[in-house]
Structure 1
Amino acid sequence: MTVARPIELEGHVIDSGTLQRCMTTIMEMGGDFDVEQFDVGRHKMAESYCRMLVQADDEATLHEILHELHQTGATVTDPHDAQLAPAPGDQIVPTGFYSTTNHPTEVRHDGDWLPVEDIEMDCAIVVEPDADGGPRAYTKVLNAIREGDLVVTDEFGVRVDPPDRPRGDSGPFGFMQGGVSPERPSESLIEEVADVIREAKADGGSVLAVTGPALLHSGAGPAFARLVREGYVDALSTGNGFAVHDMERSMYGTSLGMNVETMESPRKGHKHHIYTISEVIRAGGIEAAIEEGFVDSGVMYECIQHDVDYVLAGSIRDDGPLPDTITDAVEAQNAIREQAHEADVVLMLSTLLHSVAVGNCLPSTTPVVCVDIDPATVTQLLDRGSAQAVGMVTDVGTFVPTLANKLLDDENADCSETEE
């Protein structure tokens, strides 16, 4: 005796590979399927619809198959309201709780579909039926769960909408199709990245930069500071080391003890970052050090001068650390999460660990640009699941100055032509 349940797929399910993935999943997990209806989109922008009956030998196998199909965007027909169960204690979720993807998600409650706020992967969904303004659903990480929270415990009252790849290759986001680009011409690709940033800023969006010390060591610090100063970076997510070496350059002209201009290591240069930390601690923090005048340039200087939000997340290997560095891991996660939820475009620049941390908090719809000289790093970052992402295997020391030139010099040239 077999058991069966119909599912539906809608969207660009053919060229995105969704339909093939669903069929393969069913067969690999020991099930079978019968396509009951298939309406194919007749042109590039048209969506398709497929209804198929999923069959299995028993309820347990069918449930496992449906769970996997759900992650790809399949929905069961005639869905019921999501099942809710109270959390039995702080930081404890009910058995069988629904764990989120990073795709746009909705929860069915009292016959209506509620959009899940602040969607990110590996979270629980909490529903507040009596919230001000009506019921709402939102994500909570495990450490934020509180006893009594009403947590979604099944996927049949949940629907996921994985973003389709961009239609065609035109428009500011057309080139962002989840690929690593080690061979495409860097100049033209950076121009396209600049277009994405321009589009976001024109719409009032926020650009989040995730940076590592390699950006400074490569000599790209002044160009990045210029982007901050001119308003193309709205938030900075980085670590203690980045801030230290940035201010070290302002105070001593070195980054990790090396003169970035001459590539020489001055005598006692290896101590410069420790001297920097000591002076900033003596002043009482980064802003105070700038007010005292011994930090008068660089990325952190521009962030303070132009009120750019920054998060310095601590690490077990940090020297100092600086007074501004968040050394509590959970507190740092929450600060990063706030930045990620506000971001409309994210630049991940030569830092694997911080980029993975931010990537875990991003919905799959957020445009992401990953830049690193190591192809494995770029691939790992893109595998976090953003549907609108592009990876560039190149030197960040080349990428950032070129991007600054595209955004700022081209803009100034356009202004000059307009005035003439």
Structure 2
Amino acid sequence: MYTREVRLSGHIIDSLILPNTLDLIMDMGGDFKILEFEVGKLKVDTSHAIIQVEAPNKILLGEILDELSEIGALVIEIKDVKLLRSENDKTLPADFYSTTHHPTQIRYNGEWVVVENIEMDCMIVVDSENERAFCEPIGRIRKGDLIVVGREGVQVLPPARPRGKQGVFEFMSSEASSEKPIKSIIANIASEIKEVKKRGGKIAIVSGPAVVHTGSGSILANMIKEGYIDLIFAGNALATHDIESALYGTSLGMDVITGEAVTRGHRNHIYAINEINKAGSIKAAVENGLLDNGIMYECVKNNIPFVLAGSIRDDGPLPDVITDVIEAQDEMRKHVHGVDMVIMISTMLHSIATGNMLPSHVKSICVDINPATVTKLSDRGSAQVVGIVTDVGTFLPVLYNELKSD
């Protein structure tokens, strides 16, 4: 039997890391011996275990160790990472390491180096001159880049689940369901938002046009104006219908106050795009007085950055929309690192895209009337997302009232 020892540390019982480790070893055809096991007795105490992993051949042992590294197990016999150079732009060496969204370190020249800008489904590129490591998507790989291959010398640190109550994020491992105490969950989210802002943190909103369609655009605009929101990710539709609402009082041709169809109102969003095109940009429309209220207006007036990523179905689009999807990804990446909380509202594709870019420590909430949206986020690996199945027209007013309460 071929053997290697691995170490587990942290809240390995409450987070199910220990049983998952043992199950994984057995399921893959290996065996184990627990050499040391120290259980934390108090809620603040961590536990530690040293496990000898056994397999009938080196290949299987390597495969088991590879999988264990994904859930936080650290091979005790630490070696430096293996590096190979990319032979061409956007190409990778064989057996390249593909990242998770958990905090990651690599062993380089005998020292642990933090991988910067961690993101799932990317590669680790090493700057040998400055002894730094970066997370890069395949599209950014350039000929000659030093790429981490294999899993030797890579340490993944998945978030632990401490013992005791964790507020709204106790729900993070539960399935999406409408049968939850929505009001109390929203109250807890409001408390989390206040706490994040109190310590100077940043909060991002990822939003679809349903915010405007349901008449809640003014609420989101107020949240921006009052300093709760620091960043907006959206598509052409949110901005277009927000501007349509600001200029004509409609969204998709429906009066946002009465909910009644307006005669020939279906043209209003095209009129809105045309007016912004004539102005040159959303910012120019604010500066010349054309646009004087709404979500995009408050973003401009309060210097809140926004990234509008286009899609194949866009009307127009507005001049501020980034129609090159890779360019839009890059622009989102410039802003997403350093965000402490993200609230994703009624937009499946933008929510999944943002979730894939987020490190696992970022507190995230996904609100959608369709449970499949929340489920897809979890299936794609964004297990840290709290899912709320409800209508955005219900969610935002309750959230705003909770934020305004003492």
In the superposition, the TM-score normalised over structure 1's length comes to: 0.93
SS of the counterpart of 1:371? strand
User: CA–CA distance in 2 between the matches of 1:114 and 1:377?
Assistant: 36
Unpaired segments ≥5 residues, structure 1:
415-420
SS of the counterpart of 1:360? helix
1:186 corresponds to which of 182, 186, 189? 182
- Aligned residues of 2:356 and 2:382 also touching (Cα < 8 A): no
Which letter maps to 1:376?
A: A
Partner of 1:322: 318
User: CA–CA distance in 2 between the matches of 1:299 and 1:130?
Assistant: 45
- CA-based RMSD: 1.5
Q: Deviations over 1:356-380 (max 9, x none)?
A: 1111110100000111111121222
Instruction: Using the aligned pairs only, state the percent identity.
Output: 49
Say if 2:103 is the partner of 1:108. Answer: no
User: CA–CA distance in 1 between the matches of 2:177 and 2:40?
Assistant: 30
SS of the counterpart of 1:266? coil
Partner of 1:380: 376
Unpaired segments ≥5 residues, structure 2:
none
Q: Deviations over 1:383-402 (max 9, x none)?
A: 44446432111111111111
SS of the counterpart of 2:251? coil
Instruction: State the Cα distance separating 1:91 from its structure 2 match.
Output: 1.0
Instruction: State the Cα distance separating 1:43 from its structure 2 match.
Output: 2.2
Partner of 1:232: 228
Which segment drifts farther, 375-384 or 51-60? 375-384
2:295 corresponds to which of 279, 289, 299? 299
With over 3 angstroms needed to count, the CA separation of the structure-2 counterparts of 1:325 and 1:310, relative to structure 1, is same
- Aligned residues of 1:89 and 1:148 also touching (Cα < 8 A): yes
Instruction: State the Cα distance separating 1:174 from its structure 2 match.
Output: 5.3
User: CA–CA distance in 2 between the matches of 1:166 and 1:243?
Assistant: 40
Partner of 2:125: 126
User: CA–CA distance in 1 between the matches of 2:317 and 2:169?
Assistant: 42
Which segment drifts farther, 63-72 or 387-396? 387-396
Instruction: State the Cα distance separating 1:93 from its structure 2 match.
Output: 1.4
2:219 corresponds to which of 220, 223, 226? 223
- Aligned residues of 2:343 and 2:364 also touching (Cα < 8 A): yes
Matches within 5 A, 1:237-386: 237-386=233-382
User: CA–CA distance in 2 between the matches of 1:309 and 1:176?
Assistant: 30
Say if 2:58 is the partner of 1:59. Answer: yes
With over 3 angstroms needed to count, the CA separation of the structure-2 counterparts of 1:175 and 1:30, relative to structure 1, is closer
Say if 2:150 is the partner of 1:145. Answer: no
Matches within 5 A, 1:66-85: 66-85=65-84
User: CA–CA distance in 2 between the matches of 1:99 and 1:385?
Assistant: 13
User: CA–CA distance in 1 between the matches of 2:242 and 2:47?
Assistant: 52
Which letter maps to 2:149?
A: T
Which letter maps to 1:317?
A: R
User: CA–CA distance in 2 between the matches of 1:84 and 1:196?
Assistant: 41
Which letter maps to 1:205?
A: G
Instruction: State the Cα distance separating 1:286 from its structure 2 match.
Output: 0.8
User: CA–CA distance in 1 between the matches of 2:159 and 2:322?
Assistant: 34
Which letter maps to 1:257?
A: G
Which letter maps to 1:288?
A: A
Q: Deviations over 1:100-159 (max 9, x none)?
A: 00001101111110111111101111111222xxx2111011111111111111212010
Q: Deviations over 1:247-292 (max 9, x none)?
A: 0001111001111211111111111111111111111111112223
With over 3 angstroms needed to count, the CA separation of the structure-2 counterparts of 1:220 and 1:166, relative to structure 1, is farther
Partner of 1:91: 90
SS of the counterpart of 2:243? helix
User: CA–CA distance in 1 between the matches of 2:74 and 2:162?
Assistant: 22
- Aligned residues of 2:14 and 2:163 also touching (Cα < 8 A): no
Matches within 5 A, 1:14-25: 14-25=13-24
Partner of 1:195: 191
With over 3 angstroms needed to count, the CA separation of the structure-2 counterparts of 1:202 and 1:173, relative to structure 1, is farther
- Aligned residues of 1:211 and 1:348 also touching (Cα < 8 A): yes
Say if 2:176 is the partner of 1:177. Answer: no
- Aligned residues of 1:127 and 1:136 also touching (Cα < 8 A): yes
- Aligned residues of 2:5 and 2:77 also touching (Cα < 8 A): no
Instruction: State the Cα distance separating 1:182 from its structure 2 match.
Output: 2.8
Following TM superposition, where does structure 1 have runs of at least 4 consecutive aligned residues deviating by more than 4 angstroms?
Answer: none
- Aligned residues of 2:43 and 2:162 also touching (Cα < 8 A): no
- Aligned residues of 2:107 and 2:153 also touching (Cα < 8 A): yes
In the superposition, the TM-score normalised over structure 2's length comes to: 0.96
User: CA–CA distance in 2 between the matches of 1:174 and 1:327?
Assistant: 35
Which letter maps to 1:119?
A: I
Q: Deviations over 1:148-207 (max 9, x none)?
A: 11111121201011001243215x665453434533322221111111111111111111
User: CA–CA distance in 2 between the matches of 1:39 and 1:84?
Assistant: 35
